[in-house]
Amino acid sequence: MRGMNSVPDIKLNDGTTIPQLGFGTFQIRPDQTQKAVEQALEAGYRHLDTAQMYRNEEGVGRAIAASGLPRDELYVTTKLNNGYHRADDARRAFDESLRKLGLDRVDLFLIHWPLPTRYDGDFESTWRTLTEFSAQGGDGRATSVGVSNFEPEHLKRIIDDSGKLPAVNQVEVQPYFGNEAVRAANASYDVATEAWSPIAQGDVLDDPTIVAIAERLDRTPAQVTLRWHVQRGDIIFPKSVKPERMRENLALFDFELTADDMAGITALDQGDQGRHGADPKTMDWIPDN
């Protein structure tokens, strides 16, 4: 445990652990990031998720420094920018992330998107480069390495090519888009599933099924949805800039959903029609740097 006694750790396939609940920083503006992360750390979060493409690693780093918390009480994830898949670019970008975060290592470093229609379809070499940073066979500046938005065929390709398993696959999962084929592929390789956009940017919070469960349990729809993820074994990192919402999102471990509750929420899955984010099979966006 890293400071949150009620938050369980998930064991990863490389023998390390990750807190099941963290604080996400996607779409938090750079000028708001330090304050938001400081408030999250004060609320009790010890798992922070950022990315090069969020452009807020420096704010995360300033908040970590200001917190005075011991480094081993924190779990920090960042991700490779889509524009830096080539090996030398990835190495330079990783060095830059460490500089911006003010850290000598991160706990988890991910390929943000596979980009199968870019770089001649070669994301295998990008994965091999990430393994250079891993504590398992690399220089240890990333305790664990993994991927994000990888489809089953993408996972198979990098594992067949390198013989090395990513520790996690961070993908869109929420009640309207259960992403069950990817979750099953992850499980088959003992790769942990991290669920981004766990409440579909709020779109599921008015759903009658979720609202009815929340009313019965005297919980909020967000808490019910996040608890659904927890009981399925997903790692989640909801985002908010409101301290009261941060605290609410932490309060997930003193109640349970019934099997019928779980099944009812799972049945909301709309397949690809429920997807909110980009499709990893076609996503090819590279930001201006």
Sequence-distant (≥ 6) Cβ neighbours of residue 233 within 8 angstroms: 10, 193
Sequence-distant (≥ 6) Cβ neighbours of residue 96 within 8 angstroms: 52
Cα separation, 197 vs 211, in Å, equals 18
Provide the angle, in degrees to the nearest 10, between the axes of the packed helices 124-131 and 87-101.
Answer: 50
Catalytic residue among 45, 54, 75, 84: 54
Pairing of strands 142-148, 168-172: parallel
Sequence-distant (≥ 6) Cβ neighbours of residue 259 within 8 angstroms: none
Residue pair 209/219 in contact (Cβ under 8 Å)? The answer is no
176 is catalytic: no
Sequence-distant (≥ 6) Cβ neighbours of residue 126 within 8 angstroms: 80, 85, 86, 87, 90, 111, 119
Sequence-distant (≥ 6) Cβ neighbours of residue 188 within 8 angstroms: none
Question: The tokens of 41 are what?
Answer: 């750390």
Dihedral of the alpha carbons of 278, 280, 283, 285, in degrees to the nearest 10: 90
Residue pair 155/176 in contact (Cβ under 8 Å)? The answer is no
Q: What are the backbone angles phi and psi of residue 97, rounded to the nearest 5°?
A: -60, -45
Q: Which residues are known catalytic residues?
A: 54
